[in-house]
Structure 1
Amino acid sequence: MLSSPERLTTQRPDQKPANDAENRSPWVSFKNRPAPKRGERVRVYRNLNNGQYSVRALQGPHKGLVLGYAPAIELTDANLIVREKTRLKAVEQGVRNVHAWSEGIFESCCDHPPASVTTKQLRVTYFPFIKSHFFLRSRPDQTITRIDHAWAYQADIWLSAPPAPQKPIGD
Protein backbone atom coordinates (compact mmCIF):
# COMPACT_ATOMS: atom_id res chain seq x y z
CA MET A 1 0.00 0.00 0.00
CA LEU A 2 1.22 3.51 -0.83
CA SER A 3 1.40 5.38 2.44
CA SER A 4 4.01 8.07 1.87
CA PRO A 5 4.17 10.79 -0.82
CA GLU A 6 7.72 9.68 -1.73
CA ARG A 7 6.39 6.37 -2.99
CA LEU A 8 4.03 8.14 -5.38
CA THR A 9 6.86 9.67 -7.40
CA THR A 10 8.48 7.95 -10.33
CA GLN A 11 11.87 9.28 -9.32
CA ARG A 12 14.42 6.94 -7.74
CA PRO A 13 15.52 7.96 -4.22
CA ASP A 14 19.14 8.41 -5.42
CA GLN A 15 18.12 10.80 -8.25
CA LYS A 16 18.11 14.55 -7.74
CA PRO A 17 15.51 16.48 -9.71
CA ALA A 18 16.91 19.03 -12.18
CA ASN A 19 15.35 21.86 -10.19
CA ASP A 20 16.67 20.68 -6.81
CA ALA A 21 18.17 23.59 -4.82
CA GLU A 22 21.24 21.50 -4.02
CA ASN A 23 21.75 20.85 -7.74
CA ARG A 24 21.59 24.63 -8.44
CA SER A 25 19.89 24.11 -11.80
CA PRO A 26 17.06 26.47 -12.72
CA TRP A 27 15.40 23.77 -14.86
CA VAL A 28 11.76 23.06 -13.99
CA SER A 29 10.46 19.84 -15.49
CA PHE A 30 7.01 19.69 -17.05
CA LYS A 31 5.14 16.46 -16.25
CA ASN A 32 8.39 14.83 -15.06
CA ARG A 33 9.94 15.04 -18.53
CA PRO A 34 13.74 15.15 -18.70
CA ALA A 35 15.73 18.26 -19.50
CA PRO A 36 17.11 18.23 -23.03
CA LYS A 37 20.64 16.98 -23.48
CA ARG A 38 23.32 19.23 -24.87
CA GLY A 39 23.27 18.99 -28.67
CA GLU A 40 19.56 18.17 -29.02
CA ARG A 41 17.34 20.28 -31.30
CA VAL A 42 14.70 22.24 -29.41
CA ARG A 43 12.11 24.96 -29.89
CA VAL A 44 12.28 27.76 -27.32
CA TYR A 45 9.66 30.43 -26.71
CA ARG A 46 8.77 32.83 -23.94
CA ASN A 47 6.04 31.43 -21.74
CA LEU A 48 3.40 34.15 -21.38
CA ASN A 49 2.18 32.71 -18.06
CA ASN A 50 5.37 32.25 -16.05
CA GLY A 51 7.84 34.62 -17.78
CA GLN A 52 10.38 31.84 -18.27
CA TYR A 53 11.31 30.07 -21.49
CA SER A 54 9.49 26.91 -22.49
CA VAL A 55 11.55 24.20 -24.17
CA ARG A 56 9.87 21.84 -26.64
CA ALA A 57 11.71 18.77 -27.95
CA LEU A 58 12.20 18.51 -31.72
CA GLN A 59 13.67 15.02 -31.52
CA GLY A 60 13.70 11.96 -29.30
CA PRO A 61 10.93 10.18 -27.40
CA HIS A 62 9.30 13.45 -26.30
CA LYS A 63 9.36 15.03 -29.78
CA GLY A 64 6.74 17.78 -30.04
CA LEU A 65 6.19 18.00 -26.28
CA VAL A 66 7.17 20.68 -23.79
CA LEU A 67 9.97 19.32 -21.61
CA GLY A 68 10.12 22.14 -19.09
CA TYR A 69 11.12 25.73 -18.34
CA ALA A 70 14.13 27.83 -17.35
CA PRO A 71 14.88 31.55 -16.95
CA ALA A 72 17.66 31.46 -19.58
CA ILE A 73 18.34 28.98 -22.38
CA GLU A 74 21.62 28.86 -24.31
CA LEU A 75 21.22 27.98 -28.01
CA THR A 76 23.50 27.63 -31.01
CA ASP A 77 22.77 27.38 -34.73
CA ALA A 78 19.22 28.70 -34.37
CA ASN A 79 16.53 30.07 -36.64
CA LEU A 80 14.05 32.70 -35.46
CA ILE A 81 10.59 31.83 -36.73
CA VAL A 82 7.35 33.83 -36.87
CA ARG A 83 4.08 32.30 -38.05
CA GLU A 84 2.53 35.28 -39.81
CA LYS A 85 -1.06 34.02 -39.96
CA THR A 86 -1.11 33.45 -36.19
CA ARG A 87 0.65 36.79 -35.58
CA LEU A 88 -2.06 38.59 -37.56
CA LYS A 89 -4.71 36.83 -35.46
CA ALA A 90 -2.99 38.09 -32.27
CA VAL A 91 -2.82 41.64 -33.67
CA GLU A 92 -6.46 41.53 -34.79
CA GLN A 93 -7.72 40.22 -31.45
CA GLY A 94 -5.25 42.18 -29.33
CA VAL A 95 -4.37 39.00 -27.45
CA ARG A 96 -0.87 37.53 -27.33
CA ASN A 97 -0.32 33.91 -28.31
CA VAL A 98 2.63 31.69 -29.12
CA HIS A 99 3.46 32.31 -32.77
CA ALA A 100 7.19 33.15 -32.63
CA TRP A 101 10.09 31.05 -31.40
CA SER A 102 13.67 29.99 -31.89
CA GLU A 103 14.63 26.52 -33.09
CA GLY A 104 18.22 25.49 -32.48
CA ILE A 105 20.70 23.33 -30.65
CA PHE A 106 20.29 23.23 -26.86
CA GLU A 107 23.52 23.97 -25.01
CA SER A 108 22.46 24.70 -21.44
CA CYS A 109 20.02 26.42 -19.14
CA CYS A 110 20.89 28.88 -16.40
CA ASP A 111 19.52 31.70 -14.27
CA HIS A 112 21.06 34.33 -16.56
CA PRO A 113 23.61 34.60 -19.38
CA PRO A 114 27.26 35.29 -18.55
CA ALA A 115 28.21 38.92 -17.87
CA SER A 116 30.42 38.83 -20.99
CA VAL A 117 27.19 38.56 -22.99
CA THR A 118 24.87 40.89 -21.06
CA THR A 119 27.39 43.76 -21.01
CA LYS A 120 27.53 43.77 -24.83
CA GLN A 121 23.82 44.62 -25.01
CA LEU A 122 23.44 42.78 -28.35
CA ARG A 123 19.76 42.02 -27.94
CA VAL A 124 17.28 40.66 -30.45
CA THR A 125 13.62 41.19 -29.65
CA TYR A 126 10.16 40.75 -31.10
CA PHE A 127 7.07 42.94 -30.77
CA PRO A 128 4.19 41.38 -32.74
CA PHE A 129 2.06 44.53 -32.60
CA ILE A 130 4.87 46.69 -34.04
CA LYS A 131 6.94 44.49 -36.41
CA SER A 132 6.34 41.14 -38.05
CA HIS A 133 9.87 39.83 -37.42
CA PHE A 134 12.67 39.62 -34.86
CA PHE A 135 15.02 42.61 -34.88
CA LEU A 136 18.10 44.00 -33.18
CA ARG A 137 17.03 46.37 -30.37
CA SER A 138 19.78 48.84 -31.28
CA ARG A 139 18.77 48.72 -34.97
CA PRO A 140 15.03 48.08 -35.33
CA ASP A 141 15.40 48.24 -39.10
CA GLN A 142 17.66 45.14 -39.05
CA THR A 143 15.68 41.90 -39.41
CA ILE A 144 17.24 38.92 -37.63
CA THR A 145 16.28 35.41 -38.74
CA ARG A 146 19.35 33.40 -37.73
CA ILE A 147 21.68 33.33 -34.74
CA ASP A 148 24.93 31.45 -34.21
CA HIS A 149 25.13 31.60 -30.41
CA ALA A 150 22.78 33.27 -27.94
CA TRP A 151 20.76 33.10 -24.75
CA ALA A 152 16.99 33.46 -24.58
CA TYR A 153 16.65 35.56 -21.44
CA GLN A 154 14.06 37.98 -20.08
CA ALA A 155 12.15 39.40 -23.07
CA ASP A 156 15.08 39.12 -25.50
CA ILE A 157 17.61 36.91 -27.18
CA TRP A 158 21.07 38.02 -26.05
CA LEU A 159 23.76 37.49 -28.69
CA SER A 160 27.35 36.58 -27.86
CA ALA A 161 28.61 38.35 -31.03
CA PRO A 162 27.17 40.77 -33.62
CA PRO A 163 24.84 39.01 -36.05
CA ALA A 164 26.02 38.16 -39.54
CA PRO A 165 24.43 40.23 -42.34
CA GLN A 166 21.00 38.85 -43.15
CA LYS A 167 18.61 39.32 -46.01
CA PRO A 168 15.34 41.02 -45.14
CA ILE A 169 12.27 38.80 -45.21
CA GLY A 170 10.76 38.57 -48.69
CA ASP A 171 14.01 39.09 -50.64
Structure 2
Amino acid sequence: MTNGGLYGLRPYKGRAFQSGLKVQVYRNLHNGLLSVRQRGLVIGHINSITLLKVKFHIDLKKHANVIQTQSKNVHAVASGYVSAEGIPDSQASQVYYNPFTAPYFRQSDNTRIDTAVKLHVRSNGYMVAER
Protein backbone atom coordinates (compact mmCIF):
# COMPACT_ATOMS: atom_id res chain seq x y z
CA MET A 1 0.00 0.00 0.00
CA THR A 2 1.33 3.45 -0.81
CA ASN A 3 1.68 6.17 1.81
CA GLY A 4 2.69 3.71 4.53
CA GLY A 5 -0.77 2.22 4.96
CA LEU A 6 -2.66 5.52 5.03
CA TYR A 7 -5.26 4.39 2.50
CA GLY A 8 -6.94 7.15 0.53
CA LEU A 9 -4.39 9.88 1.27
CA ARG A 10 -4.11 12.35 -1.58
CA PRO A 11 -0.49 13.49 -1.37
CA TYR A 12 0.21 17.21 -1.23
CA LYS A 13 3.24 18.63 -3.05
CA GLY A 14 4.66 15.11 -3.44
CA ARG A 15 5.04 14.62 0.32
CA ALA A 16 4.70 11.13 1.76
CA PHE A 17 3.37 9.77 5.04
CA GLN A 18 6.10 8.52 7.39
CA SER A 19 4.80 5.61 9.46
CA GLY A 20 5.47 5.75 13.20
CA LEU A 21 5.48 9.55 13.44
CA LYS A 22 2.66 11.58 14.95
CA VAL A 23 0.25 13.38 12.67
CA GLN A 24 -2.01 16.35 13.21
CA VAL A 25 -5.44 16.35 11.59
CA TYR A 26 -7.85 19.22 10.98
CA ARG A 27 -10.80 19.99 8.74
CA ASN A 28 -9.82 21.85 5.60
CA LEU A 29 -12.65 24.29 4.89
CA HIS A 30 -11.36 25.00 1.37
CA ASN A 31 -11.45 21.49 -0.08
CA GLY A 32 -13.93 19.73 2.23
CA LEU A 33 -11.39 17.09 3.29
CA LEU A 34 -9.18 16.49 6.31
CA SER A 35 -5.66 17.86 6.12
CA VAL A 36 -2.95 15.62 7.54
CA ARG A 37 0.20 17.29 8.85
CA GLN A 38 3.46 15.67 9.85
CA ARG A 39 6.49 17.55 11.17
CA GLY A 40 4.64 20.83 10.59
CA LEU A 41 3.95 20.23 6.88
CA VAL A 42 0.72 19.17 5.21
CA ILE A 43 1.46 15.79 3.65
CA GLY A 44 -1.97 15.25 2.12
CA HIS A 45 -5.73 15.20 2.36
CA ILE A 46 -8.09 12.35 3.22
CA ASN A 47 -11.81 11.63 3.75
CA SER A 48 -11.47 9.86 7.11
CA ILE A 49 -8.78 8.74 9.52
CA THR A 50 -8.42 6.88 12.81
CA LEU A 51 -5.82 7.96 15.36
CA LEU A 52 -4.46 6.38 18.54
CA LYS A 53 -3.05 8.12 21.65
CA VAL A 54 -4.90 11.30 20.73
CA LYS A 55 -4.44 14.78 22.14
CA PHE A 56 -6.73 17.66 21.21
CA HIS A 57 -5.01 21.03 20.77
CA ILE A 58 -6.42 24.54 20.56
CA ASP A 59 -4.22 27.55 19.79
CA LEU A 60 -5.95 30.04 22.11
CA LYS A 61 -4.44 33.09 20.44
CA LYS A 62 -5.78 32.01 17.05
CA HIS A 63 -9.08 31.02 18.70
CA ALA A 64 -9.43 34.57 20.05
CA ASN A 65 -8.84 35.88 16.52
CA VAL A 66 -11.65 33.63 15.22
CA ILE A 67 -14.02 35.06 17.82
CA GLN A 68 -12.98 38.63 17.08
CA THR A 69 -13.13 38.39 13.28
CA GLN A 70 -15.92 35.76 13.06
CA SER A 71 -13.75 34.08 10.42
CA LYS A 72 -12.44 30.54 10.88
CA ASN A 73 -8.76 29.62 10.57
CA VAL A 74 -6.67 26.58 11.47
CA HIS A 75 -6.38 26.66 15.25
CA ALA A 76 -7.79 23.32 16.44
CA VAL A 77 -6.20 19.94 15.69
CA ALA A 78 -6.22 16.37 16.88
CA SER A 79 -2.79 14.75 17.05
CA GLY A 80 -1.91 11.10 17.36
CA TYR A 81 -0.67 8.01 15.56
CA VAL A 82 -2.41 6.70 12.44
CA SER A 83 -4.22 3.42 12.99
CA ALA A 84 -5.58 0.85 10.55
CA GLU A 85 -8.27 0.05 13.13
CA GLY A 86 -11.78 1.20 12.37
CA ILE A 87 -14.31 3.23 14.24
CA PRO A 88 -14.15 2.95 18.04
CA ASP A 89 -16.56 0.56 19.76
CA SER A 90 -20.09 1.30 20.96
CA GLN A 91 -18.73 2.66 24.27
CA ALA A 92 -17.29 5.61 22.35
CA SER A 93 -18.74 9.09 22.49
CA GLN A 94 -19.19 11.67 19.80
CA VAL A 95 -16.80 14.64 19.94
CA TYR A 96 -17.56 18.18 18.82
CA TYR A 97 -15.68 21.41 18.31
CA ASN A 98 -17.29 24.77 17.67
CA PRO A 99 -15.07 27.78 18.33
CA PHE A 100 -18.10 29.99 18.94
CA THR A 101 -19.47 27.88 21.82
CA ALA A 102 -16.30 26.77 23.68
CA PRO A 103 -12.50 27.03 23.31
CA TYR A 104 -12.09 23.25 23.64
CA PHE A 105 -13.25 19.96 22.17
CA ARG A 106 -16.26 18.50 23.97
CA GLN A 107 -18.26 15.31 24.16
CA SER A 108 -21.99 14.99 23.51
CA ASP A 109 -22.69 15.60 27.23
CA ASN A 110 -20.75 18.91 26.91
CA THR A 111 -17.83 17.72 29.05
CA ARG A 112 -14.39 18.79 27.92
CA ILE A 113 -12.16 16.19 26.26
CA ASP A 114 -8.40 16.70 25.99
CA THR A 115 -7.22 13.15 25.22
CA ALA A 116 -8.56 9.90 23.81
CA VAL A 117 -7.32 6.35 23.36
CA LYS A 118 -8.76 6.27 19.84
CA LEU A 119 -10.42 8.84 17.58
CA HIS A 120 -12.14 8.42 14.24
CA VAL A 121 -12.61 11.61 12.20
CA ARG A 122 -14.52 12.14 8.96
CA SER A 123 -14.28 15.11 6.61
CA ASN A 124 -17.93 16.04 7.33
CA GLY A 125 -16.88 16.89 10.91
CA TYR A 126 -18.11 13.68 12.55
CA MET A 127 -15.73 12.59 15.33
CA VAL A 128 -16.09 9.68 17.74
CA ALA A 129 -13.62 8.88 20.52
CA GLU A 130 -12.82 6.12 22.98
CA ARG A 131 -11.51 7.43 26.28
With structure 2 as the length reference, what TM-score do the two structures score? 0.85
The CA deviation string for residues 118-159 of structure 1, in whole angstroms up to 9 with x for no partner, is x667211100011111000x211x000001111111313212
Structure 1 stretches of 4+ moved >2 Å: none
Identity %: 26
- Counterpart CA distance in 1 for 2:31 and 2:2 is 20
Please list every run of 5 or more consecutive structure 2 residues that lacks an aligned counterpart in the other structure.
none
Structure of higher CA gyration radius: 1
Q: Which among 1, 4, 8 is matched to residue 26 of structure 1?
A: 8
Number of the residue aligned with 2:56: 80
Instruction: Give 1:156's aligned amino acid.
Output: Y
The within-5 A match list for 1:1-171 is: 25-37=7-19, 39-57=20-38, 63-108=39-84, 113-114=86-87, 117=89, 122-136=93-107, 138-140=108-110, 142-153=111-122, 154-159=124-129, 161=130, 163=131
1:131, 1:108 → 2: CA distance? 31
2:99 alignment partner AA: P
- Give the letter for the 1:88 counterpart: A
Q: Provide the C-alpha distance between the structure 2 equivalents of 1:79 and 1:128, rounded to a whole number of angstroms.
A: 17
2: CA distance, partners of 1:43 / 1:124: 16
Render the CA deviation track for 1:19-54: whole Å, top value 9, x for unaligned.
Answer: xxxxxx4210001111342x3211111111122111
Unaligned runs of 5+ in 1: 1-15, 19-24, 58-62, 164-171
Cα offset, 1:92, TM superposition: 0.7
Higher RCO by CA contacts (8 Å cutoff, separation 6 or greater): 2
Any idea what the Cα deviations from partners look like across 1:48-103, whole Å, max 9, x if unmatched?
1122111111xxxxx22110011111100011011111111011101000000011
- Cα RMSD for the two superposed structures: 2.2
Give secondary structure in 1 for the equivalent of 2:116: strand
Secondary structure, in 3 states, of the residue corresponding to 1:66?
strand
Instruction: Give the paired residue count.
Output: 127
Which is strand-richer, 1 or 2?
2
